[in-house]
Each structure stands twice: as C-alpha cells, then as structure tokens.
Amino acid sequence: MLAQVDPLALAPYLAGPGAATLVLLIVGGAVYRLVITHLLPLAAHAIDRHLKQIDALIDSQKTEAQQTAKALNSLEKTVKALERRIAQADGGTGWGPDGDGGSIARRAPVDGDGRGKP
C-alpha cells in the first residue's frame, strides 16, 4: 500500500531548498553546455588568430632587422670610403703640423669652451 502524502506538508520543501537545488542544477548544466558548445570553440579560434598575427609580426620584424643591418653595413662602407677619399685629398696638400694630412676624422682636441688647444 502506498503511503498517503499530504501535499501541504511537501509544499515548503518543494518551494524552498529542494527547488533551489533543482534550479541550480538545471542552470549549472545549461551554463556548462553553453560554455563547452559555443564559448570554447570561439575562444580557441580567437587565440589561434591572435597567435597567427603575432607570428606575422615577428616575421616582419625579422625582415626589417635584416634590412636595417644591411643598410647600416652599406652606410659604414660608404663612410669608410669617404674618409679614405678625404684623407687622400688632405694628404696631397700636406696640411697639418705632423704631416698626417689633416683629415677631419682626426681633429685637434678641443677644450670644454669649444676652442682648440694650443
């Protein structure tokens, strides 16, 4: 025989902590399913896209660094060639007390006030 349960006796339990626990489980399951089904794939796609952008940035910076190094090497060679030409031109005139050609690369020492030392 089934026990007779008074609905009025169960009402406080169904409206109170039991119902809250049931609603919590249902909402928690729905949130879990939403996160697993929709948000994780979106986040993974966004992270992959971001990492591809970082890789492209690193590649472009490497290329730029190589171009800058090449330009600096070219500039250094040009400056050295110019210094040799100046030294040859000055060397032909014999200018300078020690006969070094008086190249601008070897200027006389300067005091703190901007005048040359005697």
Q: Residue 60 sits in which domain range?
A: 10-92
What distance separates the 2 farthest-apart alpha carbons in the chain?
A: 130
Tell me what the pLDDT averaged over the chain comes to: 81
Residue 2 resides in a domain:
no
Read off the pLDDT of residues 78-103 as tens digits, 9 standing for 90 and up.
999 998 888 888 765 555 555 555 55
pLDDT of 52 > 70? The answer is: yes
Residue 77 resides in a domain:
yes
Lowest mean pLDDT among 3-17, 32-46, 83-97: 83-97
Number of domains in the chain: 1
Residue 4 resides in a domain:
no
pLDDT of 69 > 80? The answer is: yes
Residue 5 resides in a domain:
no
pTM of the model: 0.45
Residue 29 resides in a domain:
yes
CA dihedral 85, 86, 89, 94 (to 10 degrees): -140
pLDDT band at 116 (very low <50, low <70, confident <90, very high): low
CB-count burial class (<10 Å; 0-12, 13-18, 19+) for 87: middle
Residue 47 resides in a domain:
yes
Residue 80 resides in a domain:
yes
3-state secondary structure of 95: coil
DSSP track, 47-91 = HHHHHHHHHHHHHHHHHHHHHHHHHHHHHHHHHHHHHHHHHHHHH
pLDDT of 50 > 90? The answer is: yes
Cβ within 8 Å of residue 92, ≥6 positions away: 101
CA-CA distance, 89 to 78, in Å (whole number)? 16
Residue 20 resides in a domain:
yes
